Amino acid sequence: MVEKTKTLMDRLSELKEEKNAVILAHNYQIDEVQDCADYVGDSFELSKIASETDAQVIVFCGVHFMAESAKILAPHKTVLLPDIMAGCPLADMAAPQKVKELKEKYPKAAVACYINTTAAVKAECDVCVTSANAEKVINNYPAEEFIFLPDQNLGSYIAGKTQKKIILWDGYCITHHRVTGDEVKKAREAMPGAFLMVHPECRPEVVEQADIALGTGGMLRYARESQETKFMVGTELGLIYRLKKENPEKDFYLLSAGMICPNMKFTNLQKIVASLENMSPQIEVPEGIRVRAKTCLDRMLQYS
Ligand code: CIZ
């Protein structure tokens, strides 16, 4: 470990004790952030940990909507997002006003939102989903028609798994959507025999060519339990670090060199230490929005 990192790690340990803090890192974070975290996981796993931990301060190393979800579930805790500019372009593709307009246009439809939405959008929706539980929630929720937002690719994927009617929103994750069917065809030719797992945020033509479509938690489980030893991975680069760490005897290759989310790379060890020293930037959610957004998240638990 280089001297500077060691000093920062020592300082982080002192601050964690002094402030009674826990460090949560998303699966897409850079290596040093994953290594210094108390827990690494997907956004929902981390929000649940946030709500159950005894720590008073939660340092959420991810993007803005994730820290908001932690604050929604743990309103009495201080939630820090080490770089306030770490946003989610996909979450920003949905605004509460447009949700209200669509609800008027389709009065019989329930509104299901992906967890990648702002608290203000969740407050307008009936039920939240993650990529891991979307199919189950949609099939179990008592409605026959859904407005699904904001990810059109995840929405199309679910539409193929249910008899229910899905009205798609036109949003997408820039990191997953950039991969084309042609690129996948070439990647498969270049690496015959590799098992291809992709995220359902990828385009339908990419998902069709994959061996399996899973969220990050599902990919980690599959890699651990399967007999396969060589994987091509169609999701954000950060997951490759965790996959290799947990399965040192297996090989993992990123499906496409462009699968890097710039926002997920904003956070580093130095910013985590600074956020605890300054107790900033803190995430706040207005109570009126928080209570309604929590209902949307609670229903996800109820129907998944
Ligand atoms: O829910 C999450 O953490 C995201 C954005 C992706 C995933 O599949 O874990």
Specify the ligand 1 atom closest to the Cα of 199. Answer: 8
Q: What mean pLDDT is reported for the chain?
A: 97
Pocket test for ligand 1, best of 115, 202, 236, 297 (most atoms within 8 A of CB): 115
**Helix, strand or coil, per DSSP, at residue 88:** coil
Place of tokens 């994927």: 157
pLDDT at 6: 73
- Domain map (residue ranges) of the chain: 2-86+264-285, 91-172+288-303, 179-258
Nearest-CA residue for ligand 1 atom 1 is: 43
* Rounded Cα–Cα distance for residues 244 and 122 (Å): 34
pLDDT level of residue 5 (50, 70, 90 thresholds): confident
Q: Which fold has domain 179-258?
A: Rossmann fold (3.40.50)
Domain 2-86+264-285: CATH architecture, name and number where available: 3-Layer(aba) Sandwich (3.40)
Predicted confidence (pLDDT) per residue in 56-105, tens digit: 999 999 999 999 999 999 999 999 999 999 999 999 999 999 999 999 99
* Rounded Cα–Cα distance for residues 129 and 122 (Å): 11
> What does residue 266 show for φ and ψ, rounded to 5 degrees?
-70, -30
CB atoms within 10 A of CB 11: 17
Tell whether domain 91-172+288-303 is in CATH 3.30.420.40. no
Query: Average pLDDT in the 14-28 region?
Result: 98
Query: Average pLDDT in the 9-24 region?
Result: 98
Nearest-CA residue for ligand 1 atom 8 is: 215
Contact 230, 244 (CB under 8 A): no
Asked if residue 200 has a cis previous peptide bond (ω within 30° of 0), the answer is no
Give residues (CB < 6 A) around ligand 1: 26-27, 42-44, 115-116, 130-131, 199, 215-217
DSSP lists the bridge partners of residue 24 as 39, 60
Predicted confidence (pLDDT) per residue in 124-177, tens digit: 999 999 999 999 999 999 999 999 999 999 999 999 999 999 999 999 999 999
Report the percentage of the chain scoring pLDDT > 70. Answer: 99
Predicted confidence (pLDDT) per residue in 174-210, tens digit: 999 999 999 999 999 999 999 999 999 999 999 999 9
HSE toward the beta carbon, residue 100, CA cutoff 13 A: 5
> Would you list the DSSP string of 119-176?
HHHHTT-SEEE-TTTHHHHHHHSS-SEEEEESBHHHHHHHHTT-SSEEEEPSB--HHH
The distance in angstroms from the start CA to the end CA of the chain is 42
Pocket test for ligand 1, best of 27, 202, 263 (most atoms within 8 A of CB): 27
| Centroid of ligand 1 to alpha carbon of 90 (angstroms) | 12
Instruction: Decide if 91-172+288-303 and 179-258 have a common fold.
Output: yes
